[in-house]
Amino acid sequence: MEMNIALLPGDGIGPEVIAQAVKVVKAVGEKFGHRISFEEAPVGAVAIDQTGDPYPDATHEVCLRGDAVLFGAIGDPKYDNDPKAKVRPEQGLLLMRQKLGLFANVRPTFTFPSLVHKSPLKLERVDGVDFVFFRELTGGVYFGEPRGRNEQGTKAFDTNVYSKEEITRLARMGFEAAQKRRKHLTCVDKANVMATSRLWRETVQELAPEYPDVKVEYEFVDAVAMRLIQWPKAYDVLITENLFGDILTDEASVISGSMGLMPSASLGIDIKLFEPIHGSYPQAAGKDIANPLATVLSAAMMFEYAFDLKEEAQAISDVVNKSLTEGVVTEDIAEGGKAYKTSEVGDWLAANI
Amino acid sequence: MEMNIALLPGDGIGPEVIAQAVKVVKAVGEKFGHRISFEEAPVGAVAIDQTGDPYPDATHEVCLRGDAVLFGAIGDPKYDNDPKAKVRPEQGLLLMRQKLGLFANVRPTFTFPSLVHKSPLKLERVDGVDFVFFRELTGGVYFGEPRGRNEQGTKAFDTNVYSKEEITRLARMGFEAAQKRRKHLTCVDKANVMATSRLWRETVQELAPEYPDVKVEYEFVDAVAMRLIQWPKAYDVLITENLFGDILTDEASVISGSMGLMPSASLGIDIKLFEPIHGSYPQAAGKDIANPLATVLSAAMMFEYAFDLKEEAQAISDVVNKSLTEGVVTEDIAEGGKAYKTSEVGDWLAANI
Ligand SMILES: CC(C)[C@H](C(=O)O)[C@@H](O)C(=O)O
Ligand SMILES: CC(C)[C@H](C(=O)O)[C@@H](O)C(=O)O
């Protein structure tokens, strides 16, 4: 198969972890006989530095041309504490999501037996956890208008907005995923306060009869924030709006003890993007110490979800598991054992595909 | 001292836990020679059932007349899954907060040595946790206008809005609390996405020089959702907006293993309200099994914060600790030992003041 992959390394540790994923993808290509080409483009702070624009048109073109997008991370602290900065790296991320129509962010949470002891939660609470969030990614308060300040600058406002269509297409993905899993869907909202949440709940209630095999539950976002920590095994598929999803998927990411390993997919109608869930981790940038496994596993998701190549995806999961068992890992999970460099882990994975 | 306490039992287990707090407050009154009177009024689903209004004017009058308000809980599931219900019990809570001007919700998280083993977190992560949230309670998306639906009902919207004044008065409370504690303030926002959050951050940055002894940090809400679980001991005082506070304080409440014991205060300019952080727990209502300790400890907070009576507050904390040590507790924390009824725990506490 021929595939052209758009590479968006982004900021911080992004370039380092993407480089390792590229090594692994190339190795997969050689082993399975695929012709894989890469086209790289800047996004985020690096793009601002180069072009003034966090998501340049040229980068957008590269994404549209690609058969899939592999993305690193965005964010640079030099922009964080400057509330008046006109352009921020994260705008690149948001523009990218919006322009590529990536409306569903798929975030699985599962455990690796060799890492679950690193969870902040007690073993019996977390062992065997297996749920997946479908976070709406192109709507809500992230894009709603109007937003901004009053004339004197003494008042600020944001708008959260959702249409039935936006909710429906995300919810259907959740229902379908639940049908293939444990048939349990949780709709997370704040219907006791927010008008948007009431539309979410109403829409999901209307769809539910089409999926009679799926048990649907409705929970408030504050309750889920608790229960994710108390009883994470109670969940199967969760659907929610953009901002709640931002908070809850990050909360969920620390449960398994393997945050540095968690991949994600962002799906649109035509375009599919894959990225590690961790951020740009600027403190580690350039040090060759970042854990590349989440990005490598995102590449595995890419083979499965974008190209329907399950064997290739499995080969990557297998080699990642092998690296964990054999202790070829970065310092964040080395625990007294030898800590390998980011690039060494990448080389080892590619060599062992 | 003479004090008139407005009692708002509310829904679900509210009346049962408030009844125990009243027993304890009366016992404190007798012991310390205070003349304490109570005036009760309905709020929430019971108020809707009685008057059609979840926060009737008569109830508001009772609160205004009171020297402090002791509140149970609000919420009834019969309203939850009816997105079209015109009046919902939670509106009573929101109206009450708004009309009484309760702009700061103070939510401490701390551990009880005898209960910390019940935490879902590993002991070393959570033992000795001690932080307090100041959640803004009368602004943000809870009250922002416009909110609602488009004409066809296919689109819903909410508005999040904050003024510099609203942020300033809440932030000052946080700074002052930090000065009396470990001098560490965390401002929680989503300044990389939301205009309101950027005003929060800007305002806190402007205030910070007035509190040179306080170390201020700015963290995104999604990062805090993670770090609260990973490193809860890293926090001292956290300030945040209404919706983020709703989610994060509930998340925080499960950390210590003693959710059923956590009190809270909601403070305005003149009015001070005290309530357990748990909800109306409808499944347990009427069964005399609910844990009354959070409400009893909220009464302790009332003596301290509303009447500046520290000894009285201490007497309540002491008797609560005694009940824990001696195992006079409800089934949720009995763990194989005898489970006492709600009313039995209340009687025991009052008798042992
Ligand atoms: C960087 C930020 C804008 C982004 C978001 O809030 O969506 C991030 O937290 C994420 O979850 O991908
Ligand atoms: C019941 C609900 C409206 C309320 C809120 O969201 O504020 C509750 O969750 C709380 O935190 O007191």
Ranges A297-311, B71-85, B149-163, B237-251: which has the least confidence: B71-85
**Domain shared by B118 and B251, yes or no:** yes
pLDDT in tens, B276-319: 999 899 999 999 999 999 999 999 999 998 999 999 999 999 99
**Residues B111 and B97 reside in one and the same domain:** no
Q: What is the pLDDT of residues B109-132, one digit of tens each?
A: 999 988 999 999 999 999 999 999
Contact A94/B at CB under 8 A = yes
Q: Is residue B237 within 8 Å of residue B184, measured between CB atoms? A: yes
What is the CATH number for B205? 3.40.718.10
CA of B133 to the centre of ligand 2 (A): 15
Asked about B341 being catalytic, the answer comes back as: no
Q: Are residues B230 and B317 in the same domain?
A: no
Active site residue B287: no
Domain finish residue from B196, B226, B260: B260
Same domain? B49 vs B145: no
Mean pLDDT of the B327-338 span? 93
A339 shares its domain with A276: yes
SS3 A274: strand
**Looking at ligand 2, which atom is closest to the CA of residue B249?**
11
Out of B23, B76, B79, B190, the active site residue is: B190
Band of pLDDT at residue A260, cut at 50, 70 and 90: confident
* Yes or no, beta carbons of B142 and A193 under 8 Å apart: yes
Amino acid at A90: E
Domain boundary among B235, B260, B285: B260
B 159-188 residues inside an 8 A Cβ radius of A: 159-165
Q: What is the mean pLDDT of residues A222-234?
A: 97
What confidence tier does A81 reach under pLDDT thresholds 50, 70, 90? Answer: low
- The total number of structural domains that make up chain B: 2
Give yes or no for residue A82 having a pLDDT over 80.
Answer: no
Of A78-92, A286-300, B243-257, which range is least confident? Answer: A78-92
Range of the domain at A123: 104-260
- Regarding whether A127 and A47 lie in a shared domain, the answer is no
What pLDDT was estimated at residue B83?
60
Cβ within 8 Å, pair B251-A225: yes
Give residue for tokens 């690609």: A66
**Does A330 lie in the same domain as A304?**
yes
Give the other-Cβ count within 10 Å of A81's Cβ.
Answer: 12
In a shared domain, residues A96 and A149:
no
Residue A190 designated active-site: yes
- Are A40 and A2 members of one domain? yes
Give A262-299 as a DSSP string.
-EEEEE-SS-EEEEESS---GGGTTTT-S--HHHHHHH
- CA dist B134 and B117 (Å) reads 26
Same domain (yes/no): B93, B157: no
Q: A130-136 and B263-267 as β-strands: parallel, antiparallel, unpaired?
A: unpaired
Q: What is the pTM of this model?
A: 0.94
CA-nearest residue of chain B to A150? B163
Query: Phi and psi for A289 in degrees, rounded to 5?
Result: -120, -10
Please tell me whether residues A110 and A241 are part of one structural domain.
Answer: yes
Beta bridge pairs of residue B162? A156
pLDDT digits (tens, 9 = 90+) for A153-210: 999 999 999 999 999 999 999 999 999 999 999 999 999 899 999 999 999 999 999 9
- β-pairing, A155-163 vs A148-149, is antiparallel
- CB contacts, 8 Å: B221 with chain A: 246-247
Q: How far apart are CA B199 and CA B206, in angstroms?
A: 10
B274 and B231 share one domain:
no
Write the pLDDT tens digit of every residue in A267-303.
999 999 999 999 899 999 999 999 999 999 999 999 9
The dihedrals phi and psi of B157, each to the nearest 5 degrees, come to -150, 150
In SS3 terms, A17-67 reads as HHHHHHHHHHHHHHHHCCEEEEEECCCCHHHHHHHCCCCCHHHHHHHHHCC
Map tokens 């049962």 to a residue. Answer: B16
Which of B215, B126, B202 has the alpha carbon at shortest distance from B174?
A: B215
Domain end among A260, A284, A306: A260
Closest atom of ligand 1 relative to the B190 alpha carbon: 6
Summarised one tens digit per residue, pLDDT across range A111-154 is 998 899 999 999 999 999 999 999 999 999 999 999 999 999 99
Provide, as residue numbers in chain A, all residues whose Cβ is less than 8 Å from the Cβ of B201.
81, 83
Which residue has its alpha carbon closest to ligand 2 atom 9? B246
Most ligand 2 atoms within 8 A of CB, residue of A188, A189, A190, A192 to mutate? A192
